Amino acid sequence: MSEAFAAVEIIAAKRDRHELTDPQIDWVVDAYTRGVVADEQMSALAMAILLNGMNAREISRWTDAMIRSGERMNWSAVKRITVDKHSTGGVGDKITLPLAPLVAACGGAVPQLSGRGLGHTGGTLDKLESIPGWRASLSNEEMLHVLQECGAVICAAGAGLAPADKKLYALRDVTATVEAIPLIASSIMSKKIAEGTSALVLDVKTGSGAFMSDPAKARELARVMVELGTNAGVKTRALVTAMDVPLGLTAGNALEVRETLEVLAGGGPADVVELTLILAREMLDTAGIKPLMDPADALKNGSAMDVWRSMISLQGGDPDAKLPVAKESMQITADSHGELIAMDAMKVGVAAWRLGAGRSRQGEAVQAGAGIEMHAKPGELVKKGQLIYTLYTDEPARFERAIESLEGSFRISSTGEKVDRLPLIIDRIEG
Ligand code: URA
- 429 assigned to some structural domain: no
Give the tens place of pLDDT for each residue, 218-273.
999 999 999 999 999 999 999 999 999 999 999 999 999 999 999 999 999 999 99
Question: Which DSSP helix (H) or strand (E) runs through 98?
Answer: helix 96-105
Give nearest CA residue, ligand 1 atom 6: 184
Measured in whole angstroms, how far is the alpha carbon of residue 322 from the centre of its chain?
26
Whether residues 314 and 345 share a domain: the answer is no
List the domain range (segments joined by +) for residue 342.
Answer: 328-413
Per-residue confidence (pLDDT) for residue 73, from 0 to 100 = 95
Which positions ≥6 away from 229 have C-beta within 8 Å? Answer: 189, 192, 193, 200, 202, 235, 236, 431
Question: How high does pLDDT run on average in the chain?
Answer: 96
What spacing in Å lies between the alpha carbon of 399 and ligand 1's midpoint? 30
Write down the pLDDT at residue 1: 63
Q: In terms of domains, do 201 and 245 share one? A: yes
- Nearest residue to 147 (alpha-carbon basis) of 65, 208, 83: 83
DSSP letter for each residue of 25-45: HHHHHHHHHHTSS-HHHHHHH
Which of 62, 87, 184 is the best mutation target for the ligand 1 pocket, counting ligand atoms within 8 Å of the beta carbon and taking the most? Answer: 184
For residue 99, being part of any structural domain is answered with: yes
Predicted pLDDT at 118: 65
Which protein residue's CA is at the shortest distance from atom 3 of ligand 1?
A: 188
Q: What whole-number percentage of the chain has pLDDT above 90?
A: 91
Of 287, 226, 239, the residue nearest 63 (C-alpha): 226
* 59 lies in some domain: no
| Domain assignment of residue 304, yes or no | yes
Q: How many domains does the chain have?
A: 3
pLDDT for res 245: 97
Query: What whole-number distance in Å separates Cα of residue 177 and Cα of residue 181?
Result: 10
Same domain, 166 and 300: yes
184 CA → ligand 1 middle, Å: 5
For the chain, percent of residues with pLDDT exceeding 70: 100
Strands, sheet with 235-242, edge to edge from the N-terminal-most edge strand: 83-87, 199-206, 235-242, 425-430
Residue spans of the chain under pLDDT 70: 1, 118
Which of the residues are catalytic? Answer: 86, 165, 172, 187, 191
The pTM of the full predicted model, rounded to 2 decimals, is: 0.96
Supply the CATH number for residue 373's domain: 3.90.1170.30
